[in-house]
Structure 1
């Protein structure tokens, strides 16, 4: 979907979206792939592309010091800086400790989620290892929960099946725990997952490339439970919100 606008949607506490606010626009020129990032200082950075063709894209950025209410003027990134391409990278990093990290990404040649580990802060990496999780070379995302478990959102046999898996050992093994949605005639892909300050897990994903769907659920403290009646952490809760696909650039940290 092509648009010459970059829009921001605000989500309020009662589960509704406010109307979109135009952050930037360029007449007759597409504005592409908005990516939001939150700094530890609470400053928001909005990266996006402007231009008709990928080879001629102009990389731009705006800043907000008021949680997205107001934004600075457009800044041009240096010619050698591309900025984020879309959402986030197609792989996800698990920080096990200061130097030990694990890279999780979709494997093009083996149709599985793959991992690689580094023990020197990312300077060198082990050989790629496929996991037991099937993946049709589609986008994945992960978050390390505050209790130490790792949650992964991914497609399995096709982009019409969205799955959630949990790991209790920093990605060495995984348990499939949830199928948020399955429809082999549609595309349910490019998941983005975060854990908010209340411990709720939010996943957004493409709904047939025309809309974005959002689900919210609780993670029990037991090793592999999600959305269970016996969960003492939060009551069973499943929220679904719909908006046109290109309007919601999801940022990683709440």
Structure 2
């Protein structure tokens, strides 16, 4: 007996992921793009009693034909084509050499340059605090010129007492740390501050015992961080984490919010989340395509984003293969090119970047090309060609790699006078730089 079944978009997404695991990568890519660009349901004829997994190829084939022949209404045909792969297999030493570290200022010399130009380097709080460890700081400049930084803090990462804390810098000193979010008696993670086009400040954070069980929460402030709304779940029913995963969202030229996101369900996948209504609802992109035969390990997470021209969005990615990887979109994030190697080192730790008004990109990273390598030094790199090549401008921290020191998980934002950077300092402090443009 033949019956007509209506599969939901979520069911089709799961089916397409299964196709990838089965090796149907090309089919998956066409079909997945078609799915994301249509609001219709897919009607699949099949024998009653058959399991859905027996019909995955048929589902994918029909979607694929729809994308190619126009049966499915898709806005952008075909995937974004990425830049040619620039690098073969590089050693960690070769990756570091590509950044021209010999030209970089030492941390001490750069601090002197920054403070001499009217900037500052400070800790967001002192030794007196209500938590033993802290990590994953984020920061934003308010409309009245203050800097807010937030982080997760508690006895140790993953422990149920870990919550979200914040402090405010008024140009001369920081306020005492204040606990801002603790919605459940379980671990809280990775706060992300974001200021929208109306100067409303949004705080996103994760809640859950581990990453696969994360839910994303959000709260906002309309008075420069003095008061905050009650926390709400960002995407009801979500498990695994939607919205910003570590780094800030960006506002695209078409006024949408674009949030860098990732999941860690066995393998690691990166994507972006879009909002066209000020964060009330979110639409998930495709996962950035990744050839796992070429890039060994779990995959990629924690993108950092910029838009080089209208519709041209780029992502640098933390990875498990000793390199910063990249994916690009030329159709407003509908499709993304195959993830490729930038030639830059990555120690499987967080990174973040901004784009200055003059077009330069500033990237904060640990330039160490070994998976789970040392989280020192922490450096500031610059690119003048849209990320095709980079050089280290200066070190923010340059303790030797044979120490147990950790300087990691940076966040960088533009400010009225230049840029501000925060990062984990030895897991018990948050250090912040206020850098005037003339020092860059």
Same fold (TM over 0.5): yes
Which residue is 1:140 aligned to? 351
| Alpha carbons 1:101, 1:122 under 8 Å: kept | yes
| Alpha carbons 2:420, 2:434 under 8 Å: kept | yes
Following superposition, the deviation at residue 84 of structure 1 comes to 4.2
Q: Secondary structure at the match of 1:9?
A: strand
Could you list the per-position Cα deviations for residues 17-68 of structure 1 after superposition, in whole angstroms to 9, with x for gaps in the alignment? 1112333445854444333222211222222344555565554332211111
1:201 aligns with 2:419: yes
Q: How does 1:145-184 map to 2 (within 5 A)?
A: 145-157=356-368, 158-183=374-399, 184=401
Structure 1 unaligned blocks of 5 or more: 227-254
Number of residue equivalences = 219
Give the structure-2-normalised TM-score. Answer: 0.45
Match of 1:100 among 309, 312, 315: 312
Relative to structure 1, is the Cα distance of residues 129 and 219 closer, same or farther in structure 2, using a 3 angstrom cutoff? farther
Which residue is 2:407 aligned to? 188
Aligned-residue RMSD, C-alpha: 2.5
Following superposition, the deviation at residue 101 of structure 1 comes to 2.2
Q: How does 1:40-189 map to 2 (within 5 A)?
A: 40-52=197-209, 54=211, 57-77=214-234, 78-80=236-238, 82-84=241-243, 86-88=245-247, 89=260, 90-109=302-321, 111-157=322-368, 158-183=374-399, 184=401, 185=403, 186-189=405-408
Following superposition, the deviation at residue 135 of structure 1 comes to 1.6
Cα distance in structure 2, aligned partners of 1:207 and 1:123: 38
Match of 1:215 among 433, 436, 439: 433
Following superposition, the deviation at residue 132 of structure 1 comes to 3.4
Relative to structure 1, is the Cα distance of residues 44 and 212 closer, same or farther in structure 2, using a 3 angstrom cutoff? same
Relative to structure 1, is the Cα distance of residues 148 and 211 closer, same or farther in structure 2, using a 3 angstrom cutoff? same
- Greater helix content: 2
Structure 2 unaligned blocks of 5 or more: 1-155, 248-259, 261-301, 369-373
Which residue is 1:37 aligned to? 194
Following superposition, the deviation at residue 171 of structure 1 comes to 0.7
| Alpha carbons 2:216, 2:243 under 8 Å: kept | no
Following superposition, the deviation at residue 213 of structure 1 comes to 1.4
Moved more, 78-87 or 119-128: 78-87
Relative to structure 1, is the Cα distance of residues 41 and 182 closer, same or farther in structure 2, using a 3 angstrom cutoff? same
- Greater strand content: 1
Give the structure-1-normalised TM-score. Answer: 0.75
Higher RCO (CA < 8 A, seq sep 6+):
2
| Alpha carbons 1:107, 1:130 under 8 Å: kept | no
Cα distance in structure 2, aligned partners of 1:181 and 1:201: 17
Cα distance in structure 2, aligned partners of 1:93 and 1:53: 25
